[in-house]
Amino acid sequence: MTTETLSTRPTTGILDSLREHPTIKRIQSNWIYRYIVFPVAQMLFFIVAAALVMTVIAYAVSIVVPEPRPNINLAAQITKQLPGMIVSGVGIGFVYAMIALGYTLVYGVLKFINFAHSEIFMVGAVVGFEITDRLAASGTIASWNPLILVPFVVISSMLVSGGLAVLIERVAYRPLRGSPRLVPLITAIGLSFFLVDGVRALVAVTRNDFNLTYPTQELEFLKNPIPLTFNGPVVGGTNIGGVTYEQITADGVVLDEWQVEGATYSSITVGGVTLGGVPVKASDIVSGETEYDAVLVEGRDLDDIEDGANIVNIRITVIIIVLSAVIMLVLLNYFVNGTKIGKGIRAVSQDQATAGLMGINVNRMVAITFFLGGAFGGAAGALFGLNVGTVTPYVGFIPGLKAFTAAVLGGIGNITGALLGGLTLGMVESFLNGTLVYFPALGQRYTDIFAFSVLILILIFRPSGLLGERVDEKV
Amino acid sequence: MSSAAPVLKIDNLHTYYGHIHALKGISLSVEAGEIVTLIGANGAGKSTTLRTVSGMVRPRQGAVELRGKSIVGLKAHEVAALGVGHVPEGRRIFPLLTVRENLEVGAWNVKERSQFDERMDQAFTLFPRLKERVTQKGGTLSGGEQQMLAIARALMADPEVLLLDEPSMGLAPVLVEAIFDIVQRVNKEARKTILLVEQNALMALEIAHRGYVLQTGEVVLSDSARSLMVNEDVRKVYLGEH
Amino acid sequence: MTTSRAAVSEAGARSGFWGRFPNPTVTVGFLIVYLAVVIGLLLSLDRASLWFSIQSTIVFPAFILSPLLIHSAPIPRTWKAVLIGLVMIIAMPIIGISDSSYLELAIQVCIFAGLALGLNIVVGFAGLLDLGYIAFFAVGAYVWGMFTSTAPTIFNELGILIPPDSQAVAFIIFIAIGVLVAACIGILLGLPVLRLRGDYLAIVTLGFGEVIRIIARNGDSPTNFTNGSQGLLNVGRPPVNADMVARIGELSNTLNIQVVGNLEPLTQQILFYFIAISMLGIILVVANRLQNSVIGRAWTAIREDEVAAIAMGVPLVRMKLMAFALGAAFAGSIGVLYGAKQTFVSPESFTLLNSISILAMVIVGGLGSIKGVLLGAMIVTLLQLQVLKNFSLQLNALKNVDFVVLGFHIRDWPTQLEPAKYERFVFGILLVLMMLFRPAGLLPESRRRLEMTRTNDVPEEPPSDIPGTPNGPANPAAAGVGD
Amino acid sequence: MLLEVKDVSKSFGGIRAVRSVTLGIEQGSISSIIGPNGAGKTTLFNLLTGIYKADTGSIVFNGRSMIGLRPDQVNAAGMARTFQSIRLFPTMTVLENVMVGAHSRLRVSILQTLSRAPSFNRQEKRLTEKATQLLHFAGLAGKGDEVARNLPYGDQRRVEVARALASDPKLILLDEPTAGMNPHESADAMALFRRVRDELGITVVLIEHDMKVVMGISEHISVLDYGEKIADGTPSEIRANPRVIEAYLGRGAASGIDPNNPNAAKAEAAK
Amino acid sequence: QAQDMQVIKIASQSPLSGPQSILGISIRNSVELAIEQLQGPLNELGYSVEFVPFDDQATPDVGVSNAQNIVNDAAILAVVGHLNSGVALPSSEVYNDNDLVMVSPANTNVNVTDRGYPTVNRVCGRDDTQGAAGAAFAATIEGVESVYVLHDTTAYGQGVAEFFMAEAEAQGLSVLGFEGTEEAANFDGIIQPILALEPDLIYFGGIYSQTGIFISQARAAGYEGFFMGPDGFDSSEFADLSGDAGVGTYYTSVAAPVTVYETAAQFAADYEEKFGEGVQPFGAQSFDAASIVLQGIAAAIEANGGAMPTRAQVAEAVRATEGFEGLTGAITFDDNGDPELANYFILQVGSADSAEWNNNALLSTQSIASPLMAAAMSS
Ligand SMILES: Nc1ncnc2c1ncn2[C@@H]1O[C@H](COP(=O)(O)OP(=O)(O)OP(=O)(O)O)[C@@H](O)[C@H]1O
Ligand SMILES: Nc1ncnc2c1ncn2[C@@H]1O[C@H](COP(=O)(O)OP(=O)(O)OP(=O)(O)O)[C@@H](O)[C@H]1O
Ligand SMILES: [Mg+2]
Ligand SMILES: [Mg+2]
């Protein structure tokens, strides 16, 4: 029996021997290193490694198949898309990772797949919507400081989702503890049906609709993506309808100002296109004092839109996701490895009966675990909602499945594994989406198939997932 | 010895596993500072008795009193909090926790830091071997070390009553001796009350004050250890004499 | 040779419901009366009646579950055979003539029961958690569909479709082909992944199920095999001839039963019904024979303790592959039937939810128990296709006549809370309740019942979790499948 | 030599559990392997039976190399075993457990199974008879229909032995077969092991910590310590070996064996 | 309702639960509204009409099983449904086997009618025509030379997208990509290559709940060109979902905006009043389908001398519908059950405010003959 249990650190041979070094041991015993520096560095390392590996593979493919389709130079396309693909991979990867944590925590302790977890994520997303929407309805949302608003929304979702997870455990899993593991699997599935349609009933009655759109339009700080420039200081030089718009730069810094035929604007919108700043209705384009409407009348001469792809708009929400995830993962790591309760949870995960003999309240530990897993799911839900803008009661299914895959990929039961699994899956998906398009016989619809093949390959070579500890059975 | 009320008193205990009637009305008592041993054939219900006391299984009928207070129906962690330590059959070390962490978990109910440190020291003086291995994962210890750890872990909570289930099973002869030695020391020096289950009945009776003989879920004989050791039937059936 | 288990079930039969019957004759009498009442009621139900939906929801399940009831009764085997034969071969078609929707339900029940029995081999017997089982079903349906559909697939363009007049023979051959192809795919998938342990296997099979669906959905380019998301249209079916139609017509006249709808599709349905119950019969025999054999025992051994099993000479991978392939083969053959019956094969019918719902049948009924799985399949299928639907229809009927209960006008029931919208909601609750109240399943296999009883007294920390206790299983695998 | 083990080693990560062990087992003998906890005894059994792959070394059984074979192939080659912690199939009946043990000697054919061909029925019948006989042999007559899990511990150990015997092995490896038995029960078990050798002609190797059993039954003893073989010889040689006393027996136990059980070995031998 | 009236039932089948239920419920509600408002003529003939809504759960098996149930209720004379072509195709086999007429409000898939069944009709346009009409218009947008085609991999979305692509190529536009996606929430990965390919226009064959979100995310990611889609875009919800990004989006529709037909506006208002929510796409078509069915039944009864008609007679009468003035235009069925002439409208989203949805600019109206008609006319 391979006993997989909650563990946070992979066992890597070389690192193990390094750890024995006295200096390293001293550093390691420092809690700042153990609970902050190491986990953060590890996450950065994973991000960079995952991105690097995928980039190398993508270029390798482009060497093998330089021109998958007439007039398409694969390498050039990859270069154009690279930053975008990485950012999107990281964004979705962290969401997967946070959901995967819920699967992994629960699996680590109770050894069963909590299929209802995807709905806990969904509830988090819906709660996030309810809060922001109510704030928006009361008209106060714009006055909130984002540094307070985002944590407020996320933490509320965490509390509700965490509470829900605990409730579910109490009602539907605890009575079944000790029965074959497939039994709670079925109650979990039943619950997930119940939750989806239950939430739908709630929002249908209260809102008459179940497409729940976050009021992101009213959140100033979410609107302006951070443009990253890859080709020097001048961004754009966009030419629309014979007019060239140049973004002004001073000392190599890109300003939020645009120059059109000599006049300077703080923001321009042409048709649906916003160049920096706040999207303004076409008729509202203002320059200092003069109205500039010549541009609108003509519509757009799209041929003249110049290469704008060197700009990558990093959505603020992606940054929020990454930051929140990092903070929460650091806290979780500390909680599980550095606190007494964490130790209790790990003990329960390894042997419930004996943990009870030691005076540990097994039920409480299980409840705490469910709360943690649920809270992470809830946070992921709210952040996901902020990022994609619209959620529904059905939104949990796909990310839930993906996150489950990520948890397995990383080694189910392993917290760090969930992170790595999520990032890997996000990155693989993003790169596949970005490159498969150019292969006429394939296309993005095969993304899942390829991603799945990657999963199988990894599992064949690492049967317990990327970081899963292979605890060989002692016979 | 019969000065005060018994520390642990079991009366007419019936325990079932599903429809298997494992304990059929067991009664026994353990006085403070005593080592009492349960002997009996396989499946006699020795382990079940210990499990029932520590709350791992719930009896269907009967009383278990700790210092005169009923503990029937309490959960394992509640019984533990009342000062009962149980070293379960098969050691049951947390395999992925280090030796130190195993001991820390053993001290779950210890609130004070100073007390904790003291007990840790005590454990290491009792088992110097463990001190050498504080950072090793429990699962990689050898059987004997695991057994030491299991006992030390139970002692961390400073329980008044210690339930030991076959502490010598599967151990090399050298270690068997060492373990019995330690049990005796714990009883004498730390003044623990001990309920001991052993297949190695001879050694158990050597260190125990009294003993009970169990057969298919019932107590068939109880006496002082010395008299049990010379009892014809006991010698024949449980000590392997022909 | 499993006398003890037989004894257990006999004893169970005696002590429970059947315990009240003094002797077999009375029991047989009771069963005959029961059947007569149920069949009589079914035939006399009137669709125009206000309460039709609720009535049929009560009576039809009572009818279709009767074979299981008969089977569990303590009466001589011949009687069982006679009564079950009566129900399935005579009563059901007659009821079908009076209302072919019951035939449809019966066919669907057979289809899902067959699938559930196949999955039971994989999950229940061998303990391998397969979440992509529906894929093999899809394979069967597509195999038949691709060679008979008039959709613009490559098969059609190459002119290698099976002409309608030879579809009767071809159908039987294709059931065999479905079996073979699905089994081969099962083996191909199994070879690399069966070395994985429980939950890893679960995710891989889940992914595989999705892959098959995605391939089906995108199999229209660059070469059109599956007609993509449009699905295969006009899939062939074993045809009925005028003779059969005429005979059904005569029968309905003799019985004086008014046929709603046309005779030909009715005859077709009856034909499918007989095909479906024959296939289910074969599957039952196969499953039963597998269970009580070297193979079945080896699977149980693997399920309970892989290491011990392989050390005792049971070749793990080969036996697991066998389970995987046989389970797949069941699904493949039923897939052929399904394709022919629906005359339309599209990727939408083969989603993860379908896999899960078959798994639910297996577990609700009782993992590893053939009778239980049969019951589980019946109950879940009827729940999904009849009971929950009729519940909504009943409410709607009451709305239509402005029915008033306790002063409340059913008509005022808000549309947001219309029961039809909450079928899955109710289904979810039912799943949870069934598992909470019967965690071992409705009719558990005797050894599973054993597994469960142990925990009755100790819900919190089951001693079963104590590896290495003398009498507890040394192996957590015994506590659940797919470890 | 029925079994020849040469220079076999096995490491787990940093732990070198078995270090170039060499030993031979004579056809028709009863031998023991002893050693302190964690010495690598069980690991050695696992290497022999293919559960673990040896890092180095050769294992030749009955003239055939066992290196690279899967456990089921090793079983088919004629080596059967029991486990240190009992691993019966807990919810199968005792009889079924034993029948599974014969798997490698059976014809497993789907077609025969499904068609219930006469050959299938004949095989089932023979198998049932054989399993019943084995149960009788192991002193479990009449317990065939009990569910394995419900048996007392001692009986479970016997079922393990019967199950291992069902594959008609040439060699049976017993891992602490009397652990957790009281002295009376272990004496019975010893008699059973002797009969396995004497009546069935199967070579027996056992791992034990109970010196009464080891000294009473073995014709040959090998001692492992820290993965290495430190001694090899007859029981009296081993008992007198200072290294063995130091590492394993302990002074008390070494001296304690004789006074407490002065004639057990002799008595058994006399029967 | 008078007791002596004979009862006729009309069934609907659409998804009432699950993610597509918002459209399915709209179908169900619109049929209910039509039956309530338009059963007068039948009442006069001595018949009362009952409505039996079924939930097909967007699943073929459930649809077929319901269909079996429906055909066995002798009182049911017609079905309005389904939403999903994947469900309509197998279910209509059952209807057709039993002569039961079906009028589809939403199944634009070509195969629905191309099978030539006498019982299967639809009031909406066809994917082939709609897709082609969209492409023809796209080619006229100034500056559009390249397109990128997305679809939702359903029979509907992929079907219409394929026809769009074919016509776009025929019109000389360069098709930079043709991709299907089941993604519903996060389109990041799909947008990246689009940004790199810089198409002038993105066509998305899908339904607003998916496409609205896509559009808002594509704009946020920096896409600067045009968007276009089929009638799946036609929902006020689209404006909510896509926000500012959706302004300027072109879409084709087979239903006229309510501003064009007064009756449609009335319908929308009635709907809102009765059900407390806005009508969704295919609502007007469902209303029309139900009206046609009611009219057909009445005609069949009259032809039958006032007696209860057979299903075949009803089917025949429905097929004979000629010049029916519905909310979506005049409908005459051809021999396959397609409207002989169907209107295809090209509209442009004018505002991010969903209340303004009905004021979207109507850019072009095309009356296009069904393939059968077109063939007849050309020969
Ligand atoms: N987990 C369990 N499930 C079912 N029955 C059990 C379980 N544990 C013990 N039993 C049964 O309860 C009875 C008493 O078992 P118990 O373990 O208490 O015996 P014991 O005296 O400790 O024996 P041993 O010396 O073998 O440890 C036995 O008949 C056994 O079969
Ligand atoms: N799967 C494994 N992974 C890691 N270490 C292992 C594994 N199996 C055995 N070991 C280690 O190998 C060494 C030898 O173990 P083994 O079980 O062979 O000892 P043993 O001689 O049988 O001891 P005992 O008498 O206690 O059963 C021990 O240190 C053990 O921890
Ligand atoms: Mg015991
Ligand atoms: Mg060992």
Tens digit of each residue's pLDDT (9 = 90 or more) over B11-67: 999 998 877 888 999 999 999 999 999 988 888 889 899 999 999 999 999 999 999
What average pLDDT does range E196-216 have in this prediction?
90
Q: What percent of chain B has a predicted confidence (pLDDT) above 70?
A: 96
Q: How high is the pLDDT of residue C472?
A: 31
Q: Which residues contact C148 (CB under 8 A, 6 or more apart)?
A: C161, C162, C167, C170, C234, C235, C236, C340
Q: Is residue B116 part of a domain?
A: yes
Q: How high is the pLDDT of residue A474?
A: 53
Contact exists between A and D (3 or more beta carbon pairs < 8 Å): yes
Please state which of the ranges B1-10, B129-138, E164-173 shows the lowest mean pLDDT: B1-10
Q: How high is the pLDDT of residue D89?
A: 93
Residue of D239, D250, D182 whose CA lies nearest to D215: D239
Q: How high is the pLDDT of residue A288?
A: 34
Q: How high is the pLDDT of residue A470?
A: 56
Give the whole-angstrom CA distance, residue B173 versus residue A331: 48
CA–centroid distance, D133 to ligand 1, in Å, is 27
Give the whole-angstrom CA distance, residue E310 versus residue A269: 62
**DSSP code, position C481:** S
pLDDT digits (tens, 9 = 90+) for E64-101: 889 988 998 889 999 998 998 888 988 999 999 999 99
- With an 8 Å Cβ cutoff, are A88 and E220 in contact? no
Q: Residue B149 sits in which domain range?
A: 32-43+77-237
Is residue D16 scored above 60 in pLDDT?
yes
- With an 8 Å Cβ cutoff, are D37 and B144 in contact? yes
Q: What's the pTM?
A: 0.87
CA of A371: how far to CAs of A162, A376, A396, A399, in Å?
Answer: 4, 9, 18, 20
Give the whole-angstrom CA distance, residue B207 versus residue B177: 11
Q: How high is the pLDDT of residue A337?
A: 83
Q: Which residues contact C165 (CB under 8 A, 6 or more apart)?
A: C239
**DSSP code, position B44:** S
Q: How high is the pLDDT of residue A217?
A: 76
Q: Which of helix, strand or coil describes residue A138?
A: coil
Model confidence at B240, pLDDT cuts 50, 70, 90, reads low
CATH number of this structure's domain D1-78+169-239, picked from the four choices 3.40.190.10, 3.40.50.300, 1.10.10.10, 2.40.30.30: 3.40.50.300
CA–centroid distance, B46 to ligand 1, in Å, is 8
Is residue D256 scored above 60 in pLDDT?
no
Is residue E256 scored above 90 in pLDDT?
no
Count of domains in chain B? 1
Contact call for residues C338 and C139 (beta carbons, < 8 A): no
Q: How high is the pLDDT of residue A257?
A: 54
Name the residue facing E68 among C100, C233, C343 (closest C-beta).
C100
> Largest alpha-carbon pair distance within chain C?
72
Q: Where are the domains of chain D?
A: 1-78+169-239, 89-168
- With an 8 Å Cβ cutoff, are D89 and C301 in contact? yes
Q: How high is the pLDDT of residue A5?
A: 42
CA–centroid distance, E370 to ligand 1, in Å, is 80
Q: How high is the pLDDT of residue A16?
A: 55
Chain A residues touching E153 at Cβ < 8 A: 445
Chain C residues touching B56 at Cβ < 8 A: 458, 461, 463
pLDDT digits (tens, 9 = 90+) for D96-153: 999 999 999 998 888 888 888 888 899 999 999 999 999 999 999 989 998 898 887 7
CA–centroid distance, B238 to ligand 4, in Å, is 25
Could you tell me which chains touch chain E, where touching means 3 or more CB pairs under 8 A? Answer: A, C
Q: Which residues contact E33 (CB under 8 A, 6 or more apart)?
A: E267, E270, E271, E274, E287
- With an 8 Å Cβ cutoff, are A7 and B101 in contact? no
Find the closest chain D residue to B19 by CA distance: D150
Q: Is domain A75-221+315-461 in CATH 1.10.3470, yes or no?
A: yes
Kindly state the tokens that stand for E329. Answer: 């235009």
Angular region, C159: left φ>0, alpha ψ -120 to 50, beta rest = left
Kindly state the tokens that stand for B147. Answer: 């057994």
Is residue E195 scored above 50 in pLDDT?
yes
CB distance from D159 to chain B under 8 Å?
no
Is residue E286 scored above 90 in pLDDT?
yes
Q: Is residue B51 part of a domain?
A: no
pLDDT digits (tens, 9 = 90+) for D73-99: 999 999 999 998 889 998 899 999 999
Give the whole-angstrom CA distance, residue C450 versus residue C466: 16
Q: What percent of chain A has a predicted confidence (pLDDT) above 90?
A: 29
Residue of E322, E273, E303, E307 whose CA lies nearest to E121: E322
Residue of B153, B47, B136 whose CA lies nearest to B93: B153
Q: Which of helix, strand or coil describes residue C214?
A: helix
What average pLDDT does range B199-212 have in this prediction?
89
Residue of E365, E134, E355 whose CA lies nearest to E261: E365
Is residue D224 scored above 90 in pLDDT?
yes
Complex ipTM value:
0.86
CB distance from A247 to chain E under 8 Å?
no
Q: How high is the pLDDT of residue C12?
A: 44
Could you tell me which chains touch chain B, where touching means 3 or more CB pairs under 8 A? Answer: A, C, D
- With an 8 Å Cβ cutoff, are A347 and B88 in contact? no
Q: Is residue B39 part of a domain?
A: yes
Q: How high is the pLDDT of residue A475?
A: 55
Chain A residues touching B151 at Cβ < 8 A: none
Ligand 1 mutation target, pool B38, B47, B58, B91, most atoms within 8 A of CB: B47
Kindly state the tokens that stand for C149. Answer: 């559909």
Does the C-beta of D85 come closer than 6 Å to ligand 2?
A: no
Name the residue facing B199 among D38, D84, D180 (closest C-beta).
D180
Does the C-beta of B17 come closer than 6 Å to ligand 1?
A: yes
Ligand 2 mutation target, pool A16, A471, A474, most atoms within 8 A of CB: A474
Q: How high is the pLDDT of residue C466?
A: 28
- With an 8 Å Cβ cutoff, are A389 and E190 in contact? no
Q: How high is the pLDDT of residue C9?
A: 43
Contact call for residues A355 and A344 (beta carbons, < 8 A): yes
**DSSP code, position A236:** E
Q: Which residues surround ligand 4, an ion (CB under 5 A)?
A: D 42, 84
Q: How high is the pLDDT of residue C322?
A: 94
Q: How high is the pLDDT of residue A311?
A: 52
Does the C-beta of C221 come closer than 6 Å to ligand 1?
A: no
- Decide: residue A217, CB within 10 A, 0-12 exposed, 13-18 middle, 19+ buried: middle
Residue of D123, D81, D76, D66 whose CA lies nearest to D104: D76
pLDDT tens track, chain A, 475 positions: 333 344 444 444 455 555 566 676 666 667 788 788 888 888 899 999 999 999 999 999 988 988 888 878 888 888 888 888 898 899 999 999 999 999 999 988 888 888 899 999 999 999 999 999 999 888 888 888 888 899 999 999 999 999 999 999 999 999 988 787 788 888 998 999 999 989 988 887 787 777 888 887 777 777 766 665 543 323 334 444 344 455 555 444 444 555 555 555 555 544 444 443 333 333 333 333 333 332 322 233 333 334 443 456 677 888 889 999 899 888 998 888 888 899 999 999 888 899 999 999 999 999 999 999 999 999 999 999 998 888 999 899 889 989 999 998 988 888 888 999 999 999 999 999 888 888 877 888 888 888 888 888 888 888 888 887 655 455 5
* Mean of all residue pLDDT scores within chain B: 87
Q: How high is the pLDDT of residue A75?
A: 87
Q: How high is the pLDDT of residue D1?
A: 86
Q: How high is the pLDDT of residue A8?
A: 41
User: Which residue ranges of chain C lie beneath pLDDT 50?
Assistant: 1-13, 452-483
Residue E199 Cα, gap to closest chain A Cα (Å)? 9
Q: How high is the pLDDT of residue C373?
A: 95
Q: What percent of chain A has a predicted confidence (pLDDT) above 70?
A: 73
Model confidence at E314, pLDDT cuts 50, 70, 90, reads very high
Q: Which of B14, B17, B48, B91 to mutate to test the interface with C (most CBs of C within 10 A)?
A: B17
